[in-house]
Structure formats: structure tokens, C-alpha cells
Amino acid sequence: MSNAATMWQISDADLIDAATAAETRLRQAYAESVHLLSELDNRGVATKIGYSNTPALLMHTLRISRTDARHRLAQANDLHPTTTPTGSVIDPVLPQTGAALARGEVGSEHVDVIRKTLADLPHLDAEQRATAEQVMLDRAAEDDPKALTRFATRVRDIVDPDGPPPTDDEPQRPARTLRRHLRRDGTLEFTGHLDLEAAQLFENLLKPFEKPHPEGNDTRGYAERAGDAFADVLKMAAHSPDLPTHNGLRTEVAVTITYKELQDALDNAVLTDNTSLTARDARRLACDARIIPAVLGTHSQPLDVAVPAYTTPAHIRRALVLRDRGCAFPACDRPANVCDSHHVLEWRKGGPTKLQNLALLCTHHHRLIHHSDWQAEMVNGRPQFIPPPYVDPSRTPRRNHIHGPLPS
């Protein structure tokens, strides 16, 4: 790698490759360190030289905190064989993960997610555990630790869809309660309890709406944001009585462009309220909003106001929600009710407004597809996404494994 004086001469692509290679080396070095700590602990070196335990020794020799020392040792015990006080050797809990860390394919945070996921599934037999570990490693090859954590909730359904046998005292009905009190002034107070399934649905509905305003001037506290989010969810449900996951019709926006600009294909257009936006942004909005193109003559007189034929009809939107279940972009957990309908083959290039040419995308990933080198395509009736070379040199297509169907 070049020194700092010549760093500016490195191309963007080579800079990304160098950073990726450096991360791989860091992970391999960490794997070696964890292996050495495992051997230190198995030999009981700390007690031999007068320390109470291995973490106490590591605090002095490595100058790390006791918390960090215990964390590394916990990983070491799961990734490598351990020796009991009687001298017997116990096989590692996560041998495949240990090998992947040694190759630099996963990092310490990935290891933590895999450890927690397998620890939460104590009923799995040895074969199921090995399968679950490999499934997690396959996802870790593409996902960051946070995305891997979201995917982890589906591992049991993949490896052991029946789950552990239910206990005799398992309730027959979900434990859901709601107590509400209507005040004289018309306001409402309520408390309640939701079972696991309903609680997850409630959280998924509120999360997209309770984030602070992106402008940075949001003075609301968390409780206030949650209250506003709950009101937004109620409005959304009221506006969509036929299907909870259907957003209803979008607001109509007229986009104006002069006939000469249309002929010249200039990369700009103007909204009817005189707000400028690029044609690329207009095309992104046109994927799912009721955008009405209006062509103007030389004196700003309307020559043509088109019919928004590319707006996704309600029945197709329903089918799209049932198929994608949420944002189709890899590792995204955004629910369907906050997603746009994206035309894989652009409508202006002849792409039809049909299920076979549509994919649900949240606002962030919808913008990413339109503005970056990521590419979307339909294969066997489902969307998949091809990463740019700087993300994956092999450009292996990826799919969302959080919302999608379980692997066969």
C-alpha cells in the first residue's frame, strides 16, 4: 500500500480494494489472537504465574479491559476446543465460524451474532446446529452484523420449523389486553399488553414513523415521537380499510417540461409549484407516485397532460405486497406499508406496470437503485439485485432473505 504522500494517486476502486484487504487482514489477525488466548486459557498459564484467572492476566499483558478480556475468551471457548480440569477435550461449539474468522470472511461482531443465535436455540441437535451455523455464515458473507441479527430471527424457521414441543401450560389464546379510558374532553388514555406476534407487528408499524425529523430541528422526545407515530399508523389504517398493507393512492403531482427540453432530453423538470427536480428524481417518483407529465409549449401553455398509466393499481399492489412482504433490497427490514413500487425496467423504456416488472423498495433503497451502480433484475418472477464491483468483485446477485420465502 502506498504511503500517505502518494495516497492521492490511488484510484477510487483501488482504494476500496485496499480497504477491503486491510479489513480481511485485521480479521485474520484477530482470529490468531483469539486462538492464542484459547491456548493460554486451556493451559492455565495465568494461575501458573500467580494470577487469579486469565482475564486478570490479559488486563496487564494486553492492556485491555476486563470486559473485553472476558468477551474475547468467551469467543475463544466457542471457536476452539477447550480442556476441562480433568484433562478431557471438548469440541468447539462453532468450528465453522472459527474457520471463517481465520480466513477473514467474518468479523468479531458477526461471531457475536452467530453465538447468540445458536445459544437461543438450545433444543437443536448436532446436525441442526451445524446447519444453522452454516446458514448464518452464508448470510454473513453478504450482510453486516446488524442485518445478520435481523436475519437471525428466521434461522429456527429454516432449520427447525416445528420448534420445540409446546409445554402443557401453553396458553390456547394469545395474551392480549387493552384498557382504555375516554376522558370528558374527548382525549383517550390506554394501557395494555400484546403477545409476541402482535408486539412485533406493532413495533414494525411504528418504527418508520417515529424517527426524528431529518432536518435536525426535531425537539420532540421519544414518547412524543411514538405518540405521533401511533396517530400516523391509525390514519394509515383508516385510509386503507380493504387491506392493512396497502397504502392507497398516492398524492398526484404534475411534472412540467417544455417540448424543446423533452426533445433534447435535458436532465431537468419542474413541479407545478415551481420546485425543480432532475429527470432522474422524477423517474424515481414516477415508479409509484401519481406523477402526471405535463408538456408545455413556448409560452408555457399546456400541450399535453398525460394519464398516469404507470401508477401501480391496487390489485397489483396487493399481489406485490404478498410476494415481497417488504423492501426487496438485500438485508432491508422495512415493512411493505412504507415502500414504493419500483419498475425494474423503467416505464419510460417500455417497462410494463405488471407484477413481473415490479419490486417493493423503501425510499432509501429506491433512491440508491436510481442513483448508484446497483442493478435490479427479475429472475423467476422475483427481484434480485446485482452489487457494484466495489461491493462484490464477482457481482453475485443478491436477494432479501428477511422478507422472502424460506430457502428450500
User: Each residue of 57-81: pLDDT tens digit?
Assistant: 999 999 999 999 999 999 999 999 9
For the segment 171-193, the average pLDDT, to the nearest whole number, is 81
Residue type for position 384: Q
User: Is 110 inside any structural domain?
Assistant: yes
User: Is 45 inside any structural domain?
Assistant: yes
User: Is 342 inside any structural domain?
Assistant: no
User: Is 4 inside any structural domain?
Assistant: no
Residue type for position 331: A
How many Cβ atoms sit within 10 Å of the Cβ of residue 378? 15
Q: Does 118 share its domain with 231?
A: no
What pLDDT was estimated at residue 234? 78
In the listed set 249, 267, 284, which residue is the last one of a domain according to the structure?
249
Q: Which domain holds residue 16?
A: 12-159
In the listed set 195, 215, 249, which residue is the last one of a domain according to the structure?
249
Three-state secondary structure call for residue 270 = strand
User: Is 44 inside any structural domain?
Assistant: yes
For the segment 181-201, the average pLDDT, to the nearest whole number, is 85
Q: Does 222 share its domain with 155?
A: no
The number of folded domains in the chain is 2
Quote the cell numbers at residue 267: 436532465
Q: Is the pLDDT of residue 246 over 50?
A: no
Closest CA to 133 of 145, 115, 146, 106: 115
Q: Does 148 share its domain with 80?
A: yes
Q: Does 152 share its domain with 206?
A: no
Q: Does 144 share its domain with 68?
A: yes
User: Is 244 inside any structural domain?
Assistant: yes
Q: Does 54 share its domain with 137?
A: yes
Residue type for position 4: A
Give residue 335's pLDDT band: very low, low, confident or very high (50, 70, 90).
confident
User: Is 239 inside any structural domain?
Assistant: yes
User: Is 387 inside any structural domain?
Assistant: no
Give residue 305's pLDDT band: very low, low, confident or very high (50, 70, 90).
very low
Q: Enumerate helices (H) and strands (E) in the chain, giving the number of each.
A: 15, 13
Q: Does 155 share its domain with 93?
A: yes
**pTM: predicted TM-score of the whole model, two decimal places:** 0.63
